């Protein structure tokens, strides 16, 4: 005679069986790396855009490259968020994954916004301050890519230390961008006589400084990941 199955026994097995059917790790670190590479690609295209701004053909070429990087990054962000719903066990905390990929995506969104603002506002020339803020933003983006590339190895003390050091470099670059921003605003309001031009440049300065802010947000998230998982 078959022994009766205890009440709830089948239900107890269901989560375990369901868990076995789901991916356990996903390829989150690989997707982070791909997104980081696109951030750098977009930042370098933006730098080339403002450095060659007087050349309309090159300006349009590099603007298209920024837009292409942003669209590819959006697809990666969507894939990461989709994987979060399908993956049973993630390599780091789910909220950290969600926060990190979305903060990274914000960087490229701002690069795209700055590119479009230059066109929409019909800016005719670049200032030294735009070039300096753009350069600092690009350097921040390169550090973000490097820090993100170390996440898969943070169980190793060398990688964890390198990630923290890179995050500290991002913090310093963000502070440099703050100083350039303050100086740029002071100069703009003291010297620019054309109100329309003042409004245009103010908006662009703010967008460029915001890129370094978002890079700092990513750095803070990475520091948290490292401290919790190394």
Q: Is residue 159 part of a domain?
A: yes
Structure token digits, residue 33: 């790396």
pLDDT reported for residue 92: 86
DSSP code of residue 222: H
CA 101 to CA 74: how far, in whole Å?
Answer: 10
Dump pLDDT digits (tens) for 38-95: 999 999 999 999 999 999 999 999 999 999 999 999 999 999 999 988 887 888 889 9
Classify residue 3: in a domain, yes or no.
no
CATH at residue 213? 1.20.58.220
Q: Kindly give the confidence (pLDDT) of every residue in the chain, 230 residues in length, as a single tens digit, with 9 standing for 90 and above.
A: 444 444 444 444 434 333 344 444 558 999 999 999 999 999 999 999 999 999 999 999 999 999 999 999 999 999 999 998 888 788 888 999 999 999 999 999 999 999 999 989 988 788 999 999 999 999 999 999 999 999 999 889 999 999 999 999 999 999 999 999 999 999 999 999 999 999 999 999 999 999 999 999 999 999 999 988 86
Encoding tokens for residue 218?
């990513």
Output DSSP code: residue 47. H
Is 161 within a domain? Answer: yes
* Nearest alpha-carbon partner for 39 in 47, 173, 203: 47
Residue the block writes with tokens 């997104």: 35
CA proximity to 226, closest of 96, 36, 31: 96
Per-residue model confidence (pLDDT) at position 122: 86
- Its domain, for residue 76, covers 26-229
Decide if 143 is inside a domain. yes
Is residue 18 one of the residues assigned to a domain?
no
User: Is there a domain that residue 167 lies in?
Assistant: yes
- Domain assignment present for residue 14? The answer is no
Distance CA 212, CA 219 (A): 10
Put residue 16 in one of left, alpha, beta given phi > 0 → left and psi -120 to 50 → alpha: alpha
Helix (H) or strand (E) holding 45: helix 28-51
Whether 11 is covered by a domain: the verdict is no
Residues 53/128, Cβ–Cβ less than 8 Å: no
Q: Residues near 49 by Cβ (< 8 Å), separated by ≥ 6? A: 58, 59, 62, 63, 66, 115, 118
pLDDT at position 26: 57
Looking at the 3D structure of the chain, how many domains does it have?
A: 1
């Amino acid at each position: 005679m078959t022994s009766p199955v205890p009440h709830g026994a089948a239900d107890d097995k269901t989560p375990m069986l369901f868990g076995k059917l789901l991916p356990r790790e996903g390829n989150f670190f690989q997707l982070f790396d791909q997104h980081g590479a696109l951030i750098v690609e977009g930042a370098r295209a933006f730098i080339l855009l403002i450095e060659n701004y007087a050349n309309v053909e090159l300006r349009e070429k590099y603007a298209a490259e920024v837009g292409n990087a942003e669209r590819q990054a959006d697809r990666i962000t969507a894939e990461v968020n989709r994987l979060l719903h399908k993956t049973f066990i993630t390599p780091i905390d789910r909220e950290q994954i969600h926060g990190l990929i979305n903060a990274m995506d914000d960087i490229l969104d701002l690069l795209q916004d700055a590119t479009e603002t230059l066109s929409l506002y019909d800016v005719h020339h670049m200032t030294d301050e735009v070039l300096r803020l753009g350069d600092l933003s690009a350097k921040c983006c390169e550090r973000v890519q490097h820090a993100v590339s170390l996440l898969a190895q943070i169980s190793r003390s060398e990688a964890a230390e390198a990630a923290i050091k890179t995050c500290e470099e991002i913090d310093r670059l963000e502070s440099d961008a703050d100083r350039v921003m303050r100086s740029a605003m002071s100069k703009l309001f003291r010297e620019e006589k054309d109100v329309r031009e003042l409004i245009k440049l103010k908006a662009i300065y703010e967008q460029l400084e915001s890129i370094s802010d978002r890079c700092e947000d990513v750095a803070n998230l990475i520091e948290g990941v490292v401290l919790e998982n190394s």
